[in-house]
Structure 1
Amino acid sequence: MALTVELVSPEEIIYTGEAEMVVARTTDGEIAFQPGHVPFLGVLVPGEVRVYTADGEKTTIAVERGFVEVSHDNVALLSDTAVVS
Structure 2
Amino acid sequence: MADNDGALQVELVAADRTVWSGRATMVIARTVEGDVGILRGHAPLLSLLTDAVVEISAEDGDVVVAAVDGGFLSVAADRVSVLSERAVLAEEIDVDAARAELDRQPEGDLAEDDEERRIRRAEARIRAAEKVR
**TM-score interval, normalised by the smaller of the two chains:** over 0.9
Q: Which residue of 2 aligns with 1:68?
A: 73
TM-score with structure 2 setting the length: 0.61
- Compare CA radii of gyration and give the structure with the larger one: 2
Select the structure with the greater relative contact order (CA < 8 A; seq sep ≥ 6): 1
Q: Which residue of 1 aligns with 2:86?
A: 81
Structure 1 gap ranges (5+): none
Provide the aligned length of Structure 1 versus Structure 2. 85
Rounded Cα–Cα distance in structure 2 between residues aligned with 1:75 and 1:23: 11
- Displacement of 1:54 in angstroms is 3.2
Q: 1:41 aligns with which of 31, 43, 46?
A: 46
From the two aligned structures, give the one with the greater helix fraction: 2
Structure 1 runs of 4+ with >4 Å offset: none
Q: Which residue of 1 aligns with 2:12?
A: 7
Comparing 47-56 and 16-25, the one that deviates more: 47-56
- Displacement of 1:84 in angstroms is 0.9
Structure 1 residues 56, 80: CA separation in 2 closer, same or farther (over 3 Å shift)?
same
Q: Which residue of 2 aligns with 1:52?
A: 57
What secondary structure does 2:56 align onto? strand
1:16-53 per-residue CA deviation (whole Å, 9 max, x = no partner) reads 01100000000000000000100000000011000012
Structure 2 gap ranges (5+): 1-5, 91-133
From the two aligned structures, give the one with the greater strand fraction: 1
TM-score with structure 1 setting the length: 0.94
Q: 2:25 aligns with which of 20, 32, 38?
A: 20
